[in-house]
Structure 1
Amino acid sequence: MFKRFWAVFIARNLEFFRDRSSLGWNLAFPLLLVIGFAFIFSGDGRAAYKVGVMEPGTDNAFFQMLHVEYVTYQDIELAKAKLQRHQLDILVEPASQTYWVNPSSPQGYFVEKLLLGQLPNYQQQLLEGREIRYLDWVLPGILGMNMMFSCLFGVGYVIVRYRKSSVLKRLQATPLQAVEFISAQILSRLFIVVAITSGVFIACNLMFDFYMLGSYWNLLLVTVLGAASMIAMGLLMASRSQSEELTGGLLNMISWPMMMLSGVWFSLEGAPQMVQDIALLLPLTHLLQAARAIMNDGAGLADIQSHLWAMTGMTAVFMALGSALFRWQGEGR
């Protein structure tokens, strides 16, 4: 059994790496996207200052200025964390007449001068931290989107092409079982996707020095689980069809909602609850939320265990369904 599995695994890897155009695109596409975003969003881009307030409703003129966004927080530790990452320019607590400012924030310097002009009795507290750029936030989305297309289309079209060209028909005549074939396809694509994504991440990190608070090993685990779940989904979509057009339609029907609802380009925090609930049914959502929690918040495995279990469960369900529905020669054969 292992020899049959290993033979299919090696053959699939060689087939991919010998296709230089496909390999080049998988390497170049995410790299070009990251470089493009680095130049497009190299400036701050905000039209106003952002002030965190620990209690609403104060009548002082400082809290009623134009062109300033005021955000009320109940959790002071959460607000301080945002200030450290330059997501707030200053944090004010009127009850204790205290304010916190990040000395490395240019915006915070000017807001502090405005505050002391209106509230000279407030006491200063310093919080140091590094800025999270939009590029740091969007990086998991870019890499995750590239992984999604590679996992879904790189597996789905391959299976349909094998079936259409009678490759699967020949394999059916061998002792190879469906679960062995599917397992080999999953691990082959998993190896390819993780290797390419890791290489692109390392190259981009050397150029742009991404914000990273958590463990790289935890990030690798999330990458593996996320890729496995999307590969298994792609195999499920191609388990019976012999039509490339139908398979392409099914894969597009899955990939575009994931790209729009999983938080690739923007956060879903302000979206309706129903939209957020639907997004949690998609493996890419769990991949991106877990990756951003590790990179931007320093989360450990215990903090993201719900995402890990979700991706593991999706992988198991998709693989089980794909094995049960798999047909060597397609529908009607």
Structure 2
Amino acid sequence: MRFLSLASRNLKEIYRDPLAIAWGMVFPAVLMPAIISIGKNAPLEIFTANALTPAVAVFSFGFLTLFSAIILAKDRESAFLTRLLTTPLTATDFILAYILPFLPIAILQIIICFVVGSFYGVTINSTILLTLIILFTMAVGCISLGMILGSLFTEKQAPGVSSIVIVIISLLGGCWMDLKAIGGVFETIGYSLPFAHAIDAARAVLNGSSVSGIVTDFYWVLGYTLVFFVVGIFCFRWRTKG
């Protein structure tokens, strides 16, 4: 538990920029009503509350990738982290210390999406816990992806590269369009990444699917999350060695 002191410091550093945090919270609440309004003119399944709530949640996780990459890249180039590298903290400790402060934000993003979704008829029953587990796992994966980008890129480069992740989630995550209906390269690339699997699994559960019906999708999400976490540790260790 040596990383908790650093995690506490990082938490304070994150909340020192309330506008960025507020944007990450408010954006999902504004986006969902806007898209549902558009969907009234195109009565498709993808524009229903059960379809949009997980989509907006996963899309908002892209901002966690952005924020986490920036704070790690910023600290990695500063004297602060240079001094900490002389302590007994391991690369795993550092990555955990940068991931933990973003978890409350992820939880709040999910809650906000479902609160807004409740006004439009999103399914709220005993299966919501499984939906939350799927989305939270994807959130951890996006934060871990931010650790990779924050380790590899500079403070100036990280925002641009992280923005590409947000675009990828939007276009290839199946947030606003049915990848299976589009088919071709979009479907192939989309389902080789975890975002579409997270959205599909959460949508399926909200629409009454059992655990067995979404287990494959969930394994994709969990597998990517673990890979992002481990790769983040190796990237941080590689960039800070010596």
Aligned mates of 1:136, 1:287 — CA distance in 2: 14
Aligned to 1:291: 202
8 Å contact 1:172–1:328 — kept in the other structure?
Answer: no
Q: Is the 8 A contact 1:169 1:328 kept in 2?
A: no
For residue 146 of structure 1, what is the aligned residue in structure 2? 60
Q: Which amino acid aligns with 1:237?
A: L
Match 1:13 to one of 11, 14, 22: 11
1:240 aligns with 2:117: no
2:167 matches 1:256: yes
| Alignment coverage as a number of residue pairs | 242
Amino acid at match of 1:147: F
State the distance in 2 between where 1:168 and 1:235 align.
Answer: 14
Alignment of 1:153-302 (within 5 A): 153-194=66-107, 196-212=108-124, 215-241=127-153, 243-296=154-207, 298-302=208-212
Cα shift at 1:17:
3.1
| Structure 2 letter corresponding to 1:204 | V
Q: 1:23 to 1:257 in 2, by over 3 A?
A: closer
TM-score by length of 1: 0.65
Q: CA contact under 8 A between 1:5 and 1:184: conserved in structure 2?
A: yes
Shift, 1:217, TM fit = 0.7
Task: Give the equivalent residue in structure 2 for 1:64.
Answer: none
Question: Does the aligned pair in 2 maintain the 1:163–1:328 contact within 8 Å?
Answer: no
Q: Report if aligned partners of 2:70, 2:159 keep a CA contact under 8 Å in 1.
A: yes
In the TM superposition, residue 18 of structure 1 has moved relative to its aligned partner by 4.0
1:134 aligns with one of 35, 48, 51: 48
Residues 249 and 24 (structure 1 numbering): CA distance in 2 closer, same or farther, change over 3 Å? closer
- Say whether the 8 Å CA contact 2:28–2:113 is kept in structure 1: no
Say what the alpha-carbon RMSD is for the aligned residues.
2.5
Would you say the 8 A contact 2:59–2:170 is kept in 1?
yes
The one-letter code of the counterpart of 1:7 is S
Question: RCO higher in 1 or 2 (8 Å CA, sep ≥ 6)?
Answer: 2
Residue pairs, 1:42-81, within 5 angstroms: 43=40, 45=42
1:215 is aligned with what amino acid?
T
Quick one: distance in 1 between partners of 2:61 and 2:135? 9
d(CA) in 2 for partners of 1:134 and 1:202?
13
| SS in structure 1 of the partner of residue 27 of structure 2 | helix
Deviations 1:270-303 (A, max 9, x none): 223443221122221121111111112x122221
| Residue 310 of structure 1, CA deviation | 1.3
Greater fraction helix: 2
2:226 corresponds to which residue?
Answer: 316
Q: Per the alignment, do residues 280 and 215 of structure 1 end up closer, same or farther by CA in structure 2, a change over 3 Å counting? A: same
Percent identity over the alignment is: 24
Give the residue type in structure 1 aligned to 2:35: F
Given that residues 118 and 124 in structure 2 are in contact (C-alpha distance below 8 angstroms), is that contact kept between their aligned partners in structure 1?
no
Cα distance in 2 for partners of 1:140, 1:187 equals 22
Structure 1 residue 228: deviation in Å?
1.4
Conservation of the 8 A alpha-carbon contact between 1:34 and 1:139? yes
- Give the drift of 1:330: 5.5
Normalised to the residue count of structure 2, the TM-score between the two structures is: 0.88
Give the residue type in structure 1 aligned to 2:138: G
Unaligned stretches of 5+ residues in structure 2: none
Kept in 2, the 8 Å contact 1:30–1:142? The answer is yes
Q: Which amino acid in the other structure matches residue 310 of structure 1?
A: W
Question: Do 1:17 and 1:23's aligned partners in 2 also have CA atoms closer than 8 Å?
Answer: yes
The structure with the largest strand share of the pair is: 1
| Bigger Cα Rg | 1
